[in-house]
């Protein structure tokens, strides 16, 4: 039941995004070819190319047949052609994807782990000085817009002190390999990673802390204390472990916010992932890339959410019975 309902939800979301992606350029005033292919294409446009494109997108057909042609191309993995990069959109996007995965994946793991540990420490003695200072500082940090946090780090560590590189993911034309290459990548990764991690600790921290508050009221905590178990055993093995479930499942939901957060952080550091690609496409009015990236990101977020929803009902039997 739960799965079926979910599947319908995601199917609707899927269709909404597809329809938007399809309709937007075709609803724009002026030549749809221009809106579909961007400025760059018009420069390269010849009558033959134009005829070819019109035929491929069925632009002389009624709207529903155009939608059919659009879907058919998508199913075949054809996201269109970028005249700015002069290569298929899918290959441009795939080339940038690893950087975003590296950035977002690492940030997700670090921020979740840190958030859990800090949340457990904070919730254990709620109202103590340590709890209050943690709460205030983390709330403050997560209140910062991600790009501004990135800018502060960039100005501090990059511009002023020059400890970290200002932009990019590797030193260009350095010909590094092996350990030196890994170090170089980490060196470039550090600042964007810190910005993204700092922005997202708050969520898992608050959730862990609030769950700890509820968990600590359970009789088994009192029992553990009565048994004379050491503090940290109760804190981590009894309370912390039980406070973990909602956090772990929320981590997947975080993924979506993280990817969009990464868009802004990548732009600040000119980090060559999907976010920076989006920005370049916006500047160049390269609509095929823009559409392709946003379609892929939206779909990945949808799929991640779907998997989380599925695992959520598996992990917590109460959810399954509730539906």
Partner 1 sequence: MHINFKQEVRHSKFAMFGIVMLLLLLIIAIFGPLLTPYQPNTQTPFAFEPPSFNHWLGTNHVGQDILSQLIYGARTSLLVGFSAAFLAIILSAIIGTSAALAGGLYDKIVMRIVDAFIVIPAIIVIILVAAYLKPNLLVLILLLALLGWQDGARTIRAQALSLKELGHISAARSFGAGNLYLIFRHILPDLVPILLMGFIYGVRRAIFMEAGLAFLGIADPTTVSWGMMMHEALDFCYLNVWRWWLIPPGVALSLTILSVTGIGHTLEGALDPRLRSEANA
Q: Does 144 bind partner 1 (CB under 8 A)?
A: yes
193-212 positions binding partner 1, by CB under 8 A: 210
* Separation CA 58–CA 61 (nearest Å): 5
Q: Does 307 bind partner 1 (CB under 8 A)?
A: no
What character string, x for contact with partner 1 (CB under 8 A) and - otherwise, covers 258-277?
-xx--xx--xx---------
Q: Does 110 bind partner 1 (CB under 8 A)?
A: no
Query: Shortest distance, CB of residue 177 to partner 1, whole angstroms?
Result: 30
Structure tokens at 151: 């800018």
* Separation CA 37–CA 82 (nearest Å): 7
Of 171 and 181, nearer to partner 1 (C-beta) is 171
Structure tokens at 245: 């479930």
Of 112 and 291, nearer to partner 1 (C-beta) is 291
Q: Does 175 bind partner 1 (CB under 8 A)?
A: no
Instruction: Mark the segment that binds partner 1 (CB under 8 A) among 99-107, 182-190, 229-237, 278-286.
Output: 278-286
| CB-based burial, 280-314: b 16+ in 10 Å, e otherwise | bbeebebbbbbbbbbbbbbebbbebbbebbeebbe
Q: Does 71 bind partner 1 (CB under 8 A)?
A: no
What character string, x for contact with partner 1 (CB under 8 A) and - otherwise, covers 23-42?
-xx--x------x-------
Q: Does 127 bind partner 1 (CB under 8 A)?
A: yes
Q: Which of 65, 214, 233, 237 binds partner 1 (CB under 8 A)?
A: 214
Q: Does 155 bind partner 1 (CB under 8 A)?
A: yes
* Separation CA 243–CA 45 (nearest Å): 60
Q: Does 140 bind partner 1 (CB under 8 A)?
A: yes
Residue 305 Rama label (left phi>0; alpha psi -120 to 50; beta): alpha
Q: How far is CA 286 from CA 23, 41, 48, 290, 292, in A?
A: 17, 9, 21, 6, 10
Q: Does 236 bind partner 1 (CB under 8 A)?
A: no
Of 35 and 59, nearer to partner 1 (C-beta) is 35
Beta strands in the chain (DSSP E): 81-82, 87-88
Parallel, antiparallel or unpaired: strands 87-88 and 81-82: antiparallel
Q: Does 283 bind partner 1 (CB under 8 A)?
A: yes
Residues 265 and 259: beta-carbon distance below 8 Å: no
Q: Which of 152, 181, 244, 310 binds partner 1 (CB under 8 A)?
A: 152
| CB-based burial, 54-80: b 16+ in 10 Å, e otherwise | eeebbbeeeeeebbebbeeeeeeeebb
Q: Which of 19, 109, 159, 245 binds partner 1 (CB under 8 A)?
A: 159
Q: Does 126 bind partner 1 (CB under 8 A)?
A: yes
Neighbours of 251 (CB within 10 A): 22
Q: Find, among 3, 12, 5, the residue nearest to 302 by Cα.
A: 12
* Number of shown-chain residues binding partner 1 (CB under 8 A): 54
Q: Which ranges of 57-178 does DSSP label H, i.e. alpha helix?
A: 63-75, 89-124, 129-143, 146-153
Q: Does 156 bind partner 1 (CB under 8 A)?
A: no
Residue 87 bridge partners (DSSP): 82
**Contact residues for partner 1, defined by CB under 8 A:** 5, 8-10, 12-13, 16-17, 20-21, 24-25, 28, 35, 126-127, 136, 139-140, 143-145, 147-148, 151-152, 154-155, 159, 166, 210, 213-214, 256, 259-260, 263-264, 267-268, 278-279, 282-283, 287, 290-291, 294, 297-298, 301-302, 305-306
């Amino acid at each position: 039941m739960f799965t079926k309902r979910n599947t319908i939800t995601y199917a609707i979301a899927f269709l909404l995004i597809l329809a938007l992606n399809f309709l937007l350029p075709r609803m724009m005033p002026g030549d749809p070819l221009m809106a579909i292919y961007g400025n760059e294409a018009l420069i390269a446009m010849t009558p033959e190319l134009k005829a070819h494109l019109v035929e491929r997108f069925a632009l002389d057909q009624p709207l529903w047949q155009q939608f059919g042609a659009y879907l058919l191309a998508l199913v075949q993995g054809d996201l269109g052609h970028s005249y700015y990069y002069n290569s298929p959109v899918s290959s441009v996007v795939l080339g940038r994807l690893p950087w975003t995965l590296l950035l977002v994946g690492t940030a997700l793991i670090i921020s979740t782990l840190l958030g859990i540990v800090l949340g457990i420490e904070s919730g254990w003695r709620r109202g103590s000085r340590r709890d209050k200072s943690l709460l205030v500082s983390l709330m403050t940090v997560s209140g910062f817009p991600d790009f501004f946090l990135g800018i502060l780090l960039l100005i501090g560590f990059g511009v002023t002190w020059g400890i970290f590189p200002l932009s990019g993911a590797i030193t260009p034309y350095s010909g590094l390999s092996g350990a030196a290459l890994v170090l170089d990548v980490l060196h470039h990764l550090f600042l964007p990673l810190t910005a993204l991690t700092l922005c997202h600790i708050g969520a898992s921290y608050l959730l862990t802390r609030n769950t700890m508050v509820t968990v600590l009221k359970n009789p088994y905590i009192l029992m553990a204390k009565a048994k004379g178990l050491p503090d940290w055993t109760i804190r981590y093995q009894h309370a912390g472990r039980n406070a973990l479930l909602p956090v772990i499942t929320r981590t997947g939901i975080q993924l979506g916010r993280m990817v969009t957060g990464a868009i802004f952080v990548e732009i600040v550091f000119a980090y060559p992932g999907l976010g920076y690609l989006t920005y370049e496409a916006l500047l160049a009015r390269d609509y095929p890339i823009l559409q392709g990236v946003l379609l892929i990101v939206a779909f990945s977020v949808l799929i991640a959410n779907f998997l989380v929803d599925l695992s959520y009902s598996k992990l917590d039997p109460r959810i399954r019975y509730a539906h």
